[in-house]
Chain A
Amino acid sequence: MKNELPKWADYILLPLINLTFAFVVAGMVVMLVGENPFEAAYILVRGAFGYGGGIAYTMYYATNFIFTGLSVAVAFHCGLFNIGSEGQAIIGALGVALAALTLDHLMPWWVIFPLAIVGSALFGAAWALIPAWLQAKRGSHIVITTIMFNFIASSVMVYALVEVLKPAGSMAPQTRTFEEAGRIPKLDWLFEFFGSGLQGAPLNLSFFLALIMAFLVWVLIWRTRFGYELRTTGTNPTAAVYAGIPPVKTIVITMLISGGLAGMMALNPVMGDQARIELDFTAGAGFVGIAVALMGRSHPVGIILAAILFGMLYQGGAELSFDMPNISRDMIIAIQGLVILFAGALEHLFRPSLIRLFSRFGSDSEASLAEAA
């Protein structure tokens, strides 16, 4: 009973405190470059939520982060720190391209989209398989191997774009543009319903796919037998062996699911926005996913909320650097870094003081309840 907070404090209050501190420190940075932090905050929030297009952009970015956040979280529940979501997403794009490039002349989008989902998940999962296997069988640390596989993935992508997928005669390292059938429909109808257009934002159906996957991840982790075994392996490996849960199988399957989720992130930018693979289409979403999973406490609901927060930072940050020339794109990245630092790395900074506060002002009923325990 000691050293524990009520659930609401753990899941809501503590992240809020962390976030507040991140913004206070970020505000000081903004002041340092000679801008008004309150005005900057206003521009940031307005840019992200102030108008239809801004909201759509925020949700578009959030879609990426939901996929990669879920990817990191699933592995995390099994005690695996998958740093490789970035690389798995890059390779996932090859699965998307395979479906779109070969079929976009032949079939409608609603046939290609499911195939692309399967393709992206399979390619992403395949990219996670080798690190998973090395971890499970040989004990090679998954943090190291997945980081290495990120580098290999981006090299593979450069090679594929330059040597294989680039249309003849083009100078740009990218695939040809997919036909209409190779694109995921945008959500303009949704925004028109609310009386605003998308205003050019690339928000598309994969946002709903992300929400569905978040629900499925919740079911997987807390309502299936495999989820139980996965959490047992992640929380107490010796108890898992005692319970007859095969560690190798559990680790490998978990990483395949994690890689598959990361791979599906590629659907959003590749098929939903650019309609082709461009270099660096992930824009670091794999790494943001780590922060999203940490901040969201590896719970799908938390991940969706954290993903929207980071979507806001991406979108609002873009507007901010446009409106305040002093605040460059790099400054936005610094602010995002601060949020990651406070929400993720310094997660335990305020926890002890908060626990002390709670124990001091905890009601009598709480204390007597604890005693009975």
Chain B
Amino acid sequence: MADQSSNVAPAIELSGICKSFGPVQANKDIDLVVEKGTIHGIIGENGAGKSTLMSILYGFYQADSGTISINGKTIKIPDSQAAIAAGIGMVHQHFMLVENFSVLENVILGAEGGPILNQGIAHAKAELQRLEEDYALDVDIDALIEDLPVGLQQRVEILKALFRGADILILDEPTGVLTPAEADHLFRIFEQLRDQGKTIVLITHKLREIMAITDDVSVMRHGQMVATRKTSQTNVEELAKLMVGRSVLLRVDKDKAKPTEEKLVVENLTVKDDRGVVMVDNVSFSIRAGEIVGIAGVAGNGQSELMEAISGIVTPESGSIYLDGKLINETGPADPALLRERGMAHVPEDRHHVGLVLPFSEMENSILGYQGDDAYASGMFMNMDAIEADAKAKMEQYDIRPLNTALKASNFSGGNQQKIVLSREMERDPVVLLIGQPTRGVDVGAIEFIHKRIIEMRDAGKAVLLVSVELDEIRSLADRTLVMFAGRIVGERGPEASEGELGLLMAGIEDEKEKRV
């Protein structure tokens, strides 16, 4: 494969990489060439094998067969120490930082340079100074990690990798937690790094990022590398098609909303977390039957807490919530079970920890929250036949695969897991439907289906509250968009609002009009 125009050996050359977990083949005969000094994107649906491939490169897993060459030298990478020695650095999706350590302490962790810290720290300080100047990576090295916003924490991760002498940086879904402005800054850092000769491998499922920043792009599907393209010679449609193996609808077709009466009213709601920090700050809004209200915002700005308060999981500090005209805590503290009876359905943001019990079977998951319903239980005993028949019907209707009600929820793919939750909550004919991150970790094919169902719920006269960190999703689904920043609603926009406009609001920059209100 070394027939490139340049005479420099590629930074990474993988050939014939195979990896199986049990009977499942996560990587099948993968070839990949990443040229030195380029930004190379790897895209694919969830479960396509991107993370497995990168984990092999970083020494977390061993390939069953195949060879890895770094800068033209064939090497073995039995653990992450070997990867670091070969000049590979990795920034994980979930940061690997010690929260109550300073930036400096985190950077030297595992590279202290001897049992006495003084010398190592002095060396590290000088080195960090140089790195920050070279790559415009400004961070206060004495600040504690827990005090830094996520964008800066990510920079620390990058510094960590550079400090260890990384020439090749692998970043796994780096923009998932960032505002558009922070993401743009990150991209500028990437360009800086590339110009200094570093090689960057960017794993993402966001086509927009691929188009914006990469030089080359490789597409994975079902554990195989299906194509590699020069980014300049491809387009979003082609990449999407390669990812799923068929063309997908990227825009959602929908009619104009015909909202009627108010079904969910939130007035002056304030929610504190268990540390006593105000997470939702005096929020008021309402949702009418037959409309979708989207809540946009960078993760961690109070959207989760807002959903938890409305669904009765946490008790708000103050304020009122009306469901179909009645206070939700009319007869004592609001309780999710009671609210379900009154027509509140909730698709939680985190299906693994909240929406599903992964070791339970599909049919057991299909009644979670409704286990007391007369349809599923007679007296204290569960009606297993009814539960199974009901679960099977939903699986067929939502095309949940494999069609096996006894299979554990953990054995379904992300998209199918999400459909289990959606079918459970949507088929209850709710008055109000709360949906958090409907397509997080869901493959493109299922996204289309889920979006259609959400529109159908709206057209059936449900009041839908949609929380998502995917701005594209909010923009294509919501009839009105509320933007949350630092616990407050900082603006409301119609469906015609531009991405830039919403992005500014999400970053907490209120425009003049808003300030005067």
Contact = CB atoms under 8 A, between A and B. Distances in A.
A235 B360 contact: yes
A284 interface: no
Nearest to A237: B353
Interface stretch (B37-45, B276-284, B293-301, B367-375): B367-375
B313 interface: yes
Interface in A275-299: none
Contacts of A229: 371
A239 B353 CA distance: 6
B358 A242 contact: no
A244 interface: yes
A138 interface: no
Most chain-B Cβ atoms within 10 A of its Cβ — which of A226, A231, A232, A235? A232
Contacts of B20: 359
A355 interface: yes
A219, A245, A373: residue with the most chain B Cβ atoms closer than 10 Å: A373
Interface string A220-246: 000111111101100110110111111
A225 B371 contact: yes
B368 A239 contact: yes
Contacts of B312: 244
A223 B369 contact: no
A168 interface: no
Interface in B307-355: 311-313, 335-340, 346, 348, 353-355
Contact of A2 (B24, B371, B407): B24
B391 to A, nearest CB: 14
B377 A225 contact: yes
A242 B336 contact: yes
A297 B513 CA distance: 64
Contacts of A369: 23
A246 B337 CA distance: 9
Nearest to B223: A371
Interface string B225-253: 00000000000000000000000000000
B23 A239 contact: no
Interface string B7-31: 0000000000000111111000000
B490 interface: no
A3 B22 CA distance: 7
Nearest to A362: B23
A244 B22 contact: no
Interface in A358-373: 358-359, 362, 366-367, 369-373
A371 B353 contact: no
B493 interface: no
Contacts of B368: 232, 239, 242-243
A228 B382 contact: yes
A39 interface: no
B517 interface: no
Interface residues of B, number: 42
Contacts of B340: 244
Given A228-B382, A231-B360, A243 B22 contact: no
A367 B353 contact: no
Please classify the interface of chain B as helix (H, G, I), strand (E, B), loop, or mixed, using the class held by over half of its residues.
loop
B355 A239 contact: yes
B371 A243 contact: yes
B380 A225 contact: yes
A355 to B, nearest CB: 6
B271 to A, nearest CB: 15
B23 A224 contact: no
Interface in A326-373: 355, 358-359, 362, 366-367, 369-373
Nearest to A366: B23
B346 to A, nearest CB: 7
Contacts of A223: 381-382, 384
Contacts of A1: 21-24, 411
Contacts of A224: 380-382
B346 A242 contact: yes
- Which of B23, B313, B346 is packed against the most chain A CB atoms within 10 Å? B23
Contacts of A226: 380
Interface in A4-32: 4
Nearest to A241: B313
B357 A373 contact: no
Nearest to A4: B22
Given A224-B380, A225-B380, A373-B411, A235 B23 contact: no
Contacts of A244: 312, 335-340, 369
Q: Name the residue in B335, B337, B354 with the highest tally of chain A Cβ atoms < 10 Å from its Cβ.
A: B354
B337 A243 contact: yes
B401 interface: yes
B77 interface: no
Nearest to A240: B357
Contact of A241 (B336, B371, B380, B381): B336
A373 B401 CA distance: 7
Nearest to A359: B22
Contact of B356 (A239, A371, A372): A239
Nearest to B314: A241
A1 B24 CA distance: 7
B402 interface: yes
B479 interface: no
A216 B132 CA distance: 66
Contacts of B339: 244
Contacts of B369: 242-244
Nearest to B412: A373
Contact of B354 (A2, A228, A239): A239
A235 B409 CA distance: 13
A372 B404 CA distance: 12
Contacts of B66: none
A239 B402 contact: no
Given A1-B24, A3-B21, A225-B371, A242 B355 contact: yes
Nearest to A363: B23
B336 A225 contact: no
B24 A238 contact: no
Contacts of A372: 401-402
B381 A370 contact: no
A239 B360 CA distance: 12
Nearest to A365: B23
Contact of A358 (B22, B313, B348): B22
Nearest to A364: B23
Given A225-B377, A235-B359, A359-B22, A242 B313 contact: yes
Nearest to B26: A2
Among A241, A243, A355, A370, chain B packs the most CB atoms within 10 A around the CB of A243
A35 to B, nearest CB: 43
B467 to A, nearest CB: 15
Given A243-B369, A366-B23, A373-B412, A232 B381 contact: no
B459 interface: no
Interface in A237-258: 238-239, 241-246
A63 B503 CA distance: 67
B23 A370 contact: yes
B364 interface: yes
Nearest to B373: A225
27 contacts: A1-B21, A1-B22, A2-B22, A223-B381, A224-B381, A225-B372, A225-B381, A227-B382, A229-B371, A231-B357, A235-B359, A236-B353, A238-B353, A238-B354, A239-B353, A242-B311, A242-B348, A243-B336, A243-B368, A244-B339, A244-B369, A358-B22, A359-B20, A367-B23, A370-B22, A370-B24, A373-B413
Given A4-B22, A236-B356, 17 more contacts: A1-B21, A1-B22, A1-B411, A223-B381, A225-B372, A227-B382, A239-B356, A239-B357, A241-B313, A242-B368, A243-B337, A362-B22, A371-B23, A371-B24, A371-B25, A373-B401, A373-B402
Interface of B: 20-25, 311-313, 335-340, 346, 348, 353-360, 364, 367-369, 371-372, 377, 380-382, 384, 401-402, 407, 411-413
